[in-house]
């Protein structure tokens, strides 16, 4: 072996000692300015600076790093080194792996090319890379299982909060539709049986996803039921005021609930309503679709909120569509949104040959295409006065 080859071996030995210690200054002196790492790990940038940064990130996550050289071979400008590496993952996340406190061991082979007394290139092979990959896959699998379990719990909470039956009112058609997304949101609808045969109709949406949103949704449904019964009032605005004040201290500060609440007198068709920041329902009659507007902040957002009340009378064949934003915010393959104007136009054009919600869903599925991945829960609730009434 030539003296030059001995020098190359010694250079690699010093380099690995500095690498094990995380001595970036010493490593930088031994790496050529145009150094190339031929086996980049995930997240590593090409070049010397990327290599040093990757080393720093490793030592920020691992302690007790040791390299034990088992064999070195030198030929020409290349040095082959076989060594055992060990470290404890107890400091921070690395390559997507959370700290486990366990010791990592691997048998590695490095090939370095030396040019002008500097390390110009590195190739790496080792059993530890497969182990790290397996460890990362196992962590990802456990995380997926945790998320799926959370979603199952949220789905059960959400389904349990929805009404089991649809009220039957003479001379009226009530058609709810609820389709949860893969990630559970906070959509809800409900019916309140009030005095003198009146019916409270509620549609809402709690912000967020998963179990937190399902819990807030379930809590809000219960509060609305209690407030409607306790007040024994036909005023939806009063119900929203009480629920807002109660909800403020019972949900996280970064969450709120939008809610549209209406009280229907089935005999007269009189409908009084209030809105807590929810998407505006549409009144359908003939070839028109009109928004039902009423001012009010979402529930649980601000104290001492007031809720404007409006009222209308539904005549024969007139109907109202209550809905959540999962419908209007659905996207087609090009990223275009289904949108409020599209929904309004479709409601106005609806000829009544089939139920309104069926027609809208058919239009939605045609718009989003076969490969659509639903982004949010979709809730529709159609309330229509039968044409036989005058």
The pLDDT assigned to 182 comes to 64
Query: What φ, ψ does residue 150 adopt, rounded to 5°?
Result: -60, -40
Question: Out of 31-45, 125-139, 167-181, 358-372, which region has the weakest mean confidence (pLDDT)?
Answer: 125-139
Residue with tokens 């949704």: 217
DSSP state, residue 136 = H
Report the DSSP beta bridge partners of residue 71. Answer: 82
DSSP state, residue 195 = G
Tokens of 383: 């309330």
* Annotated domain spans of the chain: 3-145, 162-385
Q: Who has greater pLDDT, 162 or 185? A: 162
| Mean of per-residue pLDDT scores for the chain | 87
Tokens of 286: 């003939």
Q: Who has greater pLDDT, 147 or 12? A: 12
Q: Calculate helix-pair angle for 210-231, 236-248, nearest 10 degrees.
A: 130
- By CB atoms closer than 10 A (0-12, 13-18, 19+), residue 367 is middle
Q: 131 falls in which pLDDT band (50, 70, 90)?
A: low
Region 356-371: what's the mean pLDDT? 87
pLDDT higher than threshold 90 for residue 351: no
Region 48-75: what's the mean pLDDT? 91
Question: Out of 230-234, 251-255, 309-313, which region has the weakest mean confidence (pLDDT)?
Answer: 230-234
- How many angstroms from the chain centroid is the CA of residue 339? 21
Contacts of 152 (CB under 8 A, 6+ apart): none
* CA quadruple 344, 349, 352, 358: dihedral sign: negative
The pLDDT assigned to 390 comes to 45
The pLDDT assigned to 93 comes to 84
Region 76-91: what's the mean pLDDT? 90
Nearest to 266 by CA among 368, 146, 386, 360: 386
Task: Report the C-alpha gap between 297 and 275 in whole angstroms.
Answer: 8
Task: Report the C-alpha gap between 371 and 384 in whole angstroms.
Answer: 33
Q: Strands (DSSP E) along 207-360, which ranges? A: 257-265, 270-276, 282-285, 288-291, 309-313, 319-323
Nearest to 20 by CA among 99, 80, 108: 108
Instruction: Return the SS3 of 158.
Output: helix
Residue with tokens 């990802």: 140
Report the DSSP beta bridge partners of residue 273. Answer: 262, 310
What is the CATH number assigned to the segment(s) 162-385? 3.60.40.10
The pLDDT assigned to 295 comes to 94
Could you tell me the pTM of the whole model? Answer: 0.63
Task: Report the C-alpha gap between 294 and 258 in whole angstroms.
Answer: 13
Task: Report the C-alpha gap between 17 and 31 in whole angstroms.
Answer: 14
User: What percent of the chain is modeled with pLDDT above 90?
Assistant: 52
Angle at 249 between CA 246 and CA 250, to 5 degrees: 85
Question: Domain 3-145's class?
Answer: alpha beta
Q: What is the pLDDT of residues 25-37, one digit of tens each?
A: 999 999 999 999 9
Task: Report the C-alpha gap between 217 and 162 in whole angstroms.
Answer: 10
Question: Out of 257-271, 333-347, 352-366, which region has the weakest mean confidence (pLDDT)?
Answer: 352-366
């Amino acid at each position: 072996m030539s003296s030059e080859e001995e020098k190359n071996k010694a250079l690699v030995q010093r380099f690995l000692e500095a690498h094990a210690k995380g001595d970036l200054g010493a490593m930088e002196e031994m790496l050529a300015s145009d150094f190339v790492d031929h086996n980049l790990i995930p997240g590593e940038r090409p070049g010397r600076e990327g290599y040093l940064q990757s080393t720093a990130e490793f030592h920020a996550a691992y302690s007790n790093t040791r390299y034990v050289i088992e064999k070195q071979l030198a030929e020409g400008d290349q040095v082959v080194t076989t060594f055992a590496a060990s470290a404890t993952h107890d400091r921070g996340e690395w390559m997507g792996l959370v700290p486990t406190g366990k010791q990592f061991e691997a048998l590695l082979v490095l090939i370095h090319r030396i040019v002008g007394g500097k390390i110009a290139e590195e190739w790496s092979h080792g059993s530890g890379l497969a182990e790290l990959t397996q460890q990362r896959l196992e962590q990802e699998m456990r995380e997926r299982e945790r998320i799926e379990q959370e979603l199952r719990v949220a789905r059960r909470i959400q389904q349990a909060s929805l009404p089991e039956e649809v009220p039957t009112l003479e001379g009226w058609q009530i058609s709810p539709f609820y389709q949860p997304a893969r990630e559970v949101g906070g959509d809800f609808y409900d019916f309140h049986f009030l005095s003198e045969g009146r019916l409270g109709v509620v549609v809402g949406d709690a912000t967020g996803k998963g179990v937190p949103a399902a819990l807030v949704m379930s809590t809000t449904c219960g509060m609305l039921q209690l407030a409607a019964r306790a007040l024994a009032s036909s005023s939806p605005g009063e119900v929203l005021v009480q629920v807002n004040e109660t909800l403020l201290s019972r949900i996280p500060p970064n969450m709120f609930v939008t809610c549209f609440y209406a009280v229907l007198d089935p005999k007269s068709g009189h409908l009084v309503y209030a809105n807590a920041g929810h998407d505006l329902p549409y009144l359908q009659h003939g070839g028109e679709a009109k928004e039902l507007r009423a001012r009010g902040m979402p529930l649980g957002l601000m104290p001492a909120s007031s809720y404007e009340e409006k009222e209308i009378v539904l005549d024969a064949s007139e109907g109202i569509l209550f809905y959540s934003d999962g419908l209007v915010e659905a996207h087609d393959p090009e990223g275009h949104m289904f949108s409020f104007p599209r929904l309004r136009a479709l409601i106005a054009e609806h000829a009544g040959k089939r139920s309104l919600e069926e027609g809208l869903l058919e239009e939605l599925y045609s718009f989003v295409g076969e490969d659509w991945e639903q982004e949010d829960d979709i809730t529709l609730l159609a309330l229509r006065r039968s044409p036989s009434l005058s």
